[in-house]
Amino acid sequence: MEKDILKVLVSEEQIQARIREMGAEISREYEGKDPVVLGVLKGVVMFYADMMKHITVPCQMDFMCLSSYKGTKSSGNMIVKQDMSVDVAGRHVLILEDIYDTGRSLQYTYNHLLSKNPASIKICTLLDKPERRIEGITLQPDWTGFTIPNEFVVGYGLDFNEHYRNLPYVGVLKPEAYEKYAITQRS
Ligand code: IMP
Ligand code: MG
């Protein structure tokens, strides 16, 4: 295990098993619908790549890049760093997310998509931290990998100041690791 990790919250085996289950359900749901699978970068990269291998129906890939996080605190300000490239008007869209935290980014993504008039929007999130939800956000994911307690997690795509995304599991950092990659400002 990576030395900066205090504890593993969701193991690689648990993640992969749950992705297989959800992939089978998603494949049944989208039979004959040729969905556009939208990944919200960058946190979703690992989940997206693994999930796509278990979606067995014809589909298209697309990505959006939002940004709102600086360190461990959400600023609440959303920036579209990169928009989708597929025209989703009249299409079935499945949003894949790394984590449903305060809900700001998922709500923003959802509203952004709605304005493009898709036939349907469904949501699959690997992690859900319901205790962190802010008032007024009522979206319910159609698939949730794991519901986790209110702890800051890293790994499997999730970062602390852009580090630890490459871990194959989801874990909690040791307090001293926060010092190590503490930064004041980056693009
Ligand atoms: P939101 O607060 O639900 O809008 O989540 C915004 C983004 O913050 C997520 O897509 C993640 O990239 C990031 N995020 C939320 N919680 C965590 C965490 O525990 N660890 C690392 N990144 C997180
Ligand atoms: Mg994200």
Report the candidate in 162, 131, 127, 156 with the shortest Cα–Cα distance to residue 141. 127
Phi and psi (nearest 5°) for 86?
-80, 140
Q: Name all residues whose Cβ lies below 6 A of ligand 1.
A: 43, 68-69, 74, 98-106, 152-154, 158-159
Residue 170 has pLDDT above 80, yes or no: yes
pLDDT of residue 186: 47
SS3 109: helix
State pTM to two decimals.
Answer: 0.93
Nearest Cα residue to atom 20 of ligand 1: 153
Q: Ligand 1 pocket test: which of 38, 68, 69 has the largest number of ligand atoms within 8 Å of its C-beta? A: 69
| Tokens (6 digits) for 19 | 């992705």
Q: Give CA–CA dist 172/6, Å, rounded.
A: 6
Give kind and range of the element (H or E) at residue 9: strand 5-10
pLDDT digits (tens, 9 = 90+) for 4-25: 999 999 999 999 999 999 999 9
- Residue 68 alpha carbon to ligand 1 centre in Å: 9
Going from the Cα of 101 to the center of ligand 1, the distance in angstroms, rounded, reads 6
Query: What average pLDDT does the structure give for the chain?
Result: 93
Distance of alpha carbon 115 from alpha carbon 8, whole angstroms: 39
- pLDDT band at residue 67 under the 50/70/90 scheme: confident
Largest CA-CA distance found in the chain, in angstroms, rounded = 50
Catalytic residue among 4, 50, 98, 101: 101
Cis check for the bond before 42: say yes or no (omega within 30 of 0): yes
Mutate to test the pocket of ligand 1, among 64, 101, 127 (most ligand atoms within 8 A of CB): 101
CATH fold for the domain made of 11-150: Rossmann fold (3.40.50)
4 is catalytic: no
* 164 Cβ contact partners less than 8 Å away, ≥ 6 residues apart: 2, 4, 154, 155, 158, 173
Q: Looking at the CA of residue 129, tell me the nearest atom of ligand 1.
A: 16
pLDDT at 185 over 90: no
Domain extents in the chain: 11-150
